[in-house]
A and B are shown apart, each in its own frame.
Chain A
Amino acid sequence: MLEMKGITKRFPGVLASDDVSFDVYPGEVHTLLGENGAGKSTLMKILYGLYEADEGEVLLNGEPLDIHEPTDAIEHGIGMIHQHFMLVPTLTVAENVALGLRSSKGVRTDLDVVSARILELSEIYGLKVDPNAFIWQMAVGEQQRVEIIKALYRDAQLLILDEPTAVLTPQEVDQLFVTLRQLRDDGRGLIFISHKLHEVLALSTRITVLRHGRVTGSVSAEGATRESLAQMMVGRAVKLAPDKTEAHPTDVKLAIKDLRVLRDRGEEGVRGVDLEVRAGEIVGVAGVSGNGQMLLAEAIAGLRTPSEGSIRIAGTEVVGMNPKEVRGTGLSYVPEKRMKDGAISEFTVSENLLLIDHNESEYLNHGLYDFGTINEHCQQLVEEYTVKTPTLDTPARNLSGGNIQKMIIARELSGTPEVLVAAQPTRGVDIGAAEYIHKRLIEQRDESTAILMISEDLDEVFGVSDRVAVMYEGEIMGIVDPKTATREEVGLMMAGVGREQTGG
Chain B
Amino acid sequence: MTIEDVRRRRLLAYSVPILAVLGALAIGAIMLIALDADVVKGFSRLFSGAFGSTDALIETALKATPLLFVGVGITIAFRANVINIGGEGQMVAGGLLSTIVALNSPDMGPFIMIPLVLLAGLAGGAIWGAIPGALKAYYGVNEILSTIMLNVVAVQLMNYLLRGPLIDPLEIERGTRIPQTERLVESADLPLLFGSGRLHIGPLIAVLAAIVAYIILWRTPLGYRVRAVGQNVDASRYAGIPVKRTIVLALTMSGALCGLAGAVLVFGSEGHRMVTDGSTAGFTGSAGFNGIVAALFGGLHPLWTIPASFLFGGLLVGGLALQRAVQVPSALILALNGLVVIFVVSADRFRRRLLERPPVVIEENDDNNRNEVATAAVAAAEPTSGDHPEGGDS
When distances are taken between beta carbons in the complex, the residues of chain A under 8 Å from B239 are: 323, 355-356, 358
If A345-B232, A355-B235, A356-B239 touch, does A217 touch B382 (CB 8 Å cutoff)? Answer: no
Q: At the interface, yes or no: A134 with Cβ under 8 Å from chain B?
A: no
Cross-chain contact A13 with B378 (CB below 8 angstroms): no
Cross-chain contact A235 with B367 (CB below 8 angstroms): yes
A355 to B225, CA, bound (A): 9
A388 to B366, CA, bound (A): 11
When distances are taken between beta carbons in the complex, the residues of chain B under 8 Å from A356 are: 239-240
When distances are taken between beta carbons in the complex, the residues of chain A under 8 Å from B241 are: 324
A340 to B235, CA, bound (A): 6
Cross-chain contact B362 with A390 (CB below 8 angstroms): yes
Indicate with 1 or 0, residue by residue over A332-354, a CB within 8 angstroms of chain B CB atoms: 01010100111111110001001
A311 to B387, CA, bound (A): 49
A322 to B242, CA, bound (A): 9
When distances are taken between beta carbons in the complex, the residues of chain A under 8 Å from B34 are: none
Cross-chain contact A355 with B228 (CB below 8 angstroms): yes
A32 to B222, CA, bound (A): 49
If A356-B239, A359-B221, A398-B359 touch, does A347 touch B370 (CB 8 Å cutoff)? Answer: no
Indicate with 1 or 0, residue by residue over A172-203, a CB within 8 angstroms of chain B CB atoms: 00000000000000000000000000000000
If A369-B219, A432-B377 touch, does A232 touch B238 (CB 8 Å cutoff)? Answer: no
Cross-chain contact A436 with B376 (CB below 8 angstroms): yes
Q: Please give the distance in Å from B140's CB to the nearest CB on chain A.
A: 16
**Residue from the list A13, A234, A347, A402 in contact with B359, Cβ < 8 A:** A13
When distances are taken between beta carbons in the complex, the residues of chain B under 8 Å from A466 are: none
A218 to B390, CA, bound (A): 11
Q: At the interface, yes or no: B385 with Cβ under 8 Å from chain A?
A: yes
Number of residues of chain B lying within 8 A (CB) of chain A? 52
Number of residues of chain A lying within 8 A (CB) of chain B? 67
When distances are taken between beta carbons in the complex, the residues of chain B under 8 Å from A81 are: none
When distances are taken between beta carbons in the complex, the residues of chain A under 8 Å from B331 are: none
Cross-chain contact A388 with B1 (CB below 8 angstroms): no
When distances are taken between beta carbons in the complex, the residues of chain A under 8 Å from B36 are: none
Indicate with 1 or 0, residue by residue over B367-394, a CB within 8 angstroms of chain A CB atoms: 1011111101111011011011011111
A324 to B362, CA, bound (A): 32
Q: Please give the distance in Å from B315's CB to the nearest CB on chain A.
A: 31
If A212-B365, A217-B391, A355-B228 touch, does A243 touch B240 (CB 8 Å cutoff)? Answer: no
Interface residues of A (CB under 8 A from B): 12-14, 37, 209, 212, 215-220, 228, 231-232, 234-237, 239, 243, 301, 303, 322-325, 327, 333, 335, 337, 340-347, 351, 354-356, 358-359, 364, 367-369, 386, 388-390, 394-395, 397-400, 402-403, 430, 432-433, 435-436, 439
Given contacts A209-B392, A368-B220, 18 further A-B contacts (CB under 8 A): A12-B1, A14-B361, A37-B363, A215-B394, A218-B392, A218-B394, A231-B388, A232-B388, A237-B388, A303-B237, A340-B235, A345-B232, A351-B224, A354-B224, A369-B220, A386-B373, A432-B377, A433-B364
